[in-house]
Homo-oligomer: A and B are copies of this chain.
Amino acid sequence: MPHKLIRIERVENDRPGRPVMIAVAGDSAAGKTTLTAGLAEALGPDRVTTICVDDYHRYDRRERKGLPFTALHPDCNYVEIIEQHLQLLATGRPILKPVYDHHTGELTRPELVEPHEFVIVEGLLPLHTRLTRACFDISIYLDPPEEVRRQWKVKRDTEKRGYQTEAVLAELERREPESAEFIRPQRAFADIVVRFAPIAGRHDPPGTPLSAELLLRPTMNHPDLSRVLAGNEQRAIHLKLTRDADGRPVDTLHIHGYVPREESLVVEKAIWERLGVDAGEVPLTLGNLGGGVRSEPLAITQLLLLSHLLDPNR
């Protein structure tokens, strides 16, 4: 039971030098990099190491063309090496990480990665095995509705990776069975499930930021939000006890996108002040969607994650 061994070793070695490990899992274009980038920037580059487990592709793009599965399939990735490298990072050791170039689709020269105080591991399959899951202190799954993710993927892959819209849609189609079989099951193992989506039944004007719904599973200690939320009129953000699709009890935190920015800022400031750790002003890097566009629900989500990461009693 190597997952037990790594859990034991990590607890035994719970000392300065052992990093806080954060998983950010989700399907392609689910918003992993956007969420992660704001967190990493707020914590500061000297304190954060970010890696992407999609770099562990076993085949390059050309080789994959002849194979009966897509890049989402565990057989298309060095899963055993992902497990090994996460164990090494989780116990404070460096790794020589493979590199997949998303632009050319080639596997290139590996790079040395040394774990800082926080290690954020994003990608398609960080929560795929029991052993990888044992390596994390906090795990997050990004779960936008499929139609939202489709828009995001078309936009990113055509604008940043040089694909045609039809090719992106065809690829989404081709990947769907493997998304269902390997990516989405990871949702069940996340401590926090984040869903950016429009609110059903509302007819907000175009340009209204998406709202966020955060499932907070009792698999970890969440900060006491009742005190933070006490002073607000329950419009920008509210907490609700619910059951997840599998029947497990969860807290669901709603952060509304249609709320005026001033109201969101009150909540952001309250959370930020409770962090206590020489906090200063709420970092402006939070909520950044890129291209100068802001989302207060994203900012509040990132703030809550920060409050987890910086909590000494985590």
Contacts and interface: CB of A to CB of B under 8 A. Distances in A.
Interface of A: 56, 58, 60, 78, 80-81, 84, 88, 93-96, 98, 106-110, 112
A286 B111 CA distance: 38
A98 B110 contact: yes
B94 A80 contact: yes
- How many of these chains are in the complex? 2
Nearest to A56: B96
A106 B109 CA distance: 9
B107 A109 contact: yes
A96 B97 CA distance: 9
A112 B93 CA distance: 20
Contacts of A94: 80-81, 84
B107 A78 contact: no
Contact of A112 (B78, B96, B108, B112): B78
Contacts of A107: 109-110
Most buried by B among A106, A107, A110: A110
A52 to B, nearest CB: 15
B81 A96 contact: yes
A80 B114 CA distance: 11
5 contacts: A80-B94, A84-B88, A98-B109, A98-B110, A108-B108
Contacts of A110: 96, 98, 107, 110
A108 B95 CA distance: 17
Given A108-B108, A109-B107, A93 B98 contact: no
A58 to B, nearest CB: 8
Contact of A84 (B78, B93, B98): B93
Contacts of A80: 94
Nearest to A98: B110
Given A81-B112, A109-B107, A109-B108, A96 B93 contact: no
Contacts of A112: 58, 78, 81
A88 B96 CA distance: 13
Contacts of A84: 88, 93-94
Contacts of A96: 56, 78, 81, 96, 98, 110
Contacts of A78: 96, 112
Contacts of A81: 94-96, 112
A13 to B, nearest CB: 13
A78 B78 CA distance: 21
Contacts of A88: 84
A88 B81 CA distance: 11
Contacts of A109: 60, 98, 106-109
Most buried by B among A81, A84, A108, A109: A109
